[in-house]
Amino acid sequence: MNQGMGTSKRLLIMTVGKTHSGKTTFAKKLEQALQNSMVMDQDNHAAFINTHYQKLQPTDGPNTLKHAVSELIVRYSIEQTNLHLIISNANRNRKGRKDLLAKFFPEKEFYRILVHFDIPDEVLHERVEKSTRNTNIFRGASHFKQVLIRQQEESLLEEVTDPEEREGDRLFIIKDNSQEEEVIQEIIKIVEIRDDLQRI
């Protein structure tokens, strides 16, 4: 039985941003503040695979095993729960975002919110230099500095673009991490307003 089907749309919150921009921290804070929500973070799936199934990991090309694990978890959470879903990944490719939303989170079933972490590169460089985060999520890098450099180079590609309003129902832009709490409260307010309207 699909418990996710109901009269009110669930929320899908998708983060967009480079490494160390604050996506994971924000997602965890939002999960704590937003009732009936869950974070899905591909870094956790990558760490699980690298810890327990490294021999199955593709050596190059798309990380098909990680994507397969993530897709299974996403499908299960949609079909078997009524949770609001927080997708905490980089999501910097516009086509990738569009395909993800169309495949799993159609407009008729989800209220779709994008949160863009537009943190200056100089701030990110300082953070990765001091980073103590576990690197067992990596397949082709040894340090987050390499990841940031690659992401900066990808920013020159046409398909790597900042999200726009038309991609979802709401777009929040965070240029300083001090804005996170304000955005969290705005998202909670969206749920409260929608719940009030449903009771009328």
What confidence tens digit (pLDDT) does each residue in 95-146 have? 999 999 999 999 999 999 999 999 999 999 999 999 998 888 887 667 899 9
Residue 20 in this model has a pLDDT that exceeds 50: yes
C-alpha to C-alpha distance for 99 and 97, rounded to whole angstroms:
6
User: Which helix or strand (DSSP H or E) is residue 172 part of?
Assistant: strand 170-174
Q: Which amino acid is at 195?
A: D
Distances in Å between the Cα of 161 and the Cα atoms of 41, 52, 133, 154, 199 are 21, 34, 26, 10, 39
User: Which helix or strand (DSSP H or E) is residue 66 part of?
Assistant: helix 64-80
Q: How many CA atoms lie within 13 A of 15 on its CB side?
A: 31
Q: Which CATH class is domain 10-199?
A: alpha beta
Q: What mean pLDDT value characterizes the chain?
A: 91
The model's pTM: 0.91
Longest dimension (CA), the chain: 55
Residue 44 in this model has a pLDDT that exceeds 70: yes
174 phi and psi angles, rounded to 5 deg: -110, 110
Q: Which amino acid is at 108?
A: K
Q: Which two tokens stand for residue 197?
A: 């309207």
Percent of the chain with pLDDT over 70: 95
Q: Which two tokens stand for residue 149?
A: 């450099």
Per DSSP, the three-state class of 72 is: helix
Distances in Å between the Cα of 137 and the Cα atoms of 19, 30, 43, 46 are 12, 23, 6, 5
Q: Break the chain into its structural domains and give their ranges.
A: 10-199
Least confident of 39-43, 55-59, 136-140, 180-184: 136-140
Q: For position 200, what pLDDT does the model report?
A: 67
The arithmetic mean of pLDDT across residues 2-23, rounded, is 81
Question: What residues contact 195, with CB distance under 8 A and at least 6 apart?
Answer: 8
Q: For position 4, what pLDDT does the model report?
A: 39
Q: Which two tokens stand for residue 162?
A: 């900042």
Percent of the chain with pLDDT over 90: 80
**144-193 per-position pLDDT tens digit:** 999 999 999 999 998 999 999 999 999 999 999 999 999 999 999 999 98
